[in-house]
Amino acid sequence: MRAEQTVSEMVVEVLARRAEALSEGTGRPFEDAFAEVLDTPAGRLLGELAEGPQRHERAAYWQARLRNEREAKRPAALLGGEASTDDRPRTRGRGTQKRLLLVEDNEAFREAFARMLELELAPEVNVAFAQADSLAEAHALLKEEYALDAALIDVGLPDGDGLDLVRELEEDGGGIESLPTLVITANLERSVASRAMEAGARGVLSKVVSSRETAEAVRVLIGAGRPTG
């Protein structure tokens, strides 16, 4: 991302990259792939972002503000504040809310993807996201957060392969609590899906599928739905 890039320019770049990956994976013309990406739930939300009041804002400033807002919403005990004196076991899935770790390096797509899932799963399932843009941030969140129910992980991350994190979470190793994982990717090659399943992922989800398919996959992952077929 260029330092002077606006939110609108960043969104167009994100959509173009997703379209390029779809075009390369299917052999379809770029224009057709771009139209399909734009017509997905996440694509439509990104389109709204590109036309919204923040469209001329510097993307770096916008991303920093979002990170600060997320930090402000997290419990003080998870921000280096006073430690909790509650010795009761910390269990997943308290009440009806499900907490998901979402690891995706593109801020705009990650925000749109999370919002799309929140809308699609409501009101049956109330979801909240702990968001990370790298393996390092994901590891930091896993040390701070508790009661996470599942993880959605992109493959290509700036500091490594997301499948390495999948292996850690599925194997319950390295001091990290095990979590069921779903790989999200724009790469439609079969080799990516094979590697993800070998790493232990419960499933592989394309970033350009419908909101209904995405939500159903997440429902199954967190135990709020049943596999079909």
Tell me if 1 is assigned to some domain: no
State the pLDDT at residue 200. Answer: 92
State the pLDDT at residue 2. Answer: 59
Tell me if 198 is assigned to some domain: yes
Query: Which one of 70-84, 117-131, 190-204, 212-226 scores highest in mean pLDDT?
Result: 190-204
pLDDT digits (tens, 9 = 90+) for 179-192: 999 999 877 678 88
Tell me if 46 is assigned to some domain: yes
Tell me if 82 is assigned to some domain: no
pLDDT digits (tens, 9 = 90+) for 168-215: 998 865 667 789 999 998 776 788 889 999 999 999 988 777 778 888
State the pLDDT at residue 96. Answer: 67
Domain range enclosing 154: 7-74+91-221
Tell me if 121 is assigned to some domain: yes
Residue 79 has pLDDT above 50, yes or no: no
- Cα distances (angstroms) measured from residue 137 to each of 46, 50, 105, 144, 178: 23, 26, 10, 11, 17
Q: How confident is the model at residue 67 (pLDDT cuts 50, 70, 90)?
A: low
Residue 98 has pLDDT above 50, yes or no: yes
DSSP secondary-structure letter at 58?
B
What 3-state DSSP class applies to 183? strand
| Domain containing residue 17: CATH number | 3.40.50.2300
Tell me if 2 is assigned to some domain: no
Tell me if 80 is assigned to some domain: no
Tell me if 173 is assigned to some domain: yes
Angle at 49 between CA 4 and CA 222, to 5 degrees: 115
Total structural domains in the chain?
A: 1
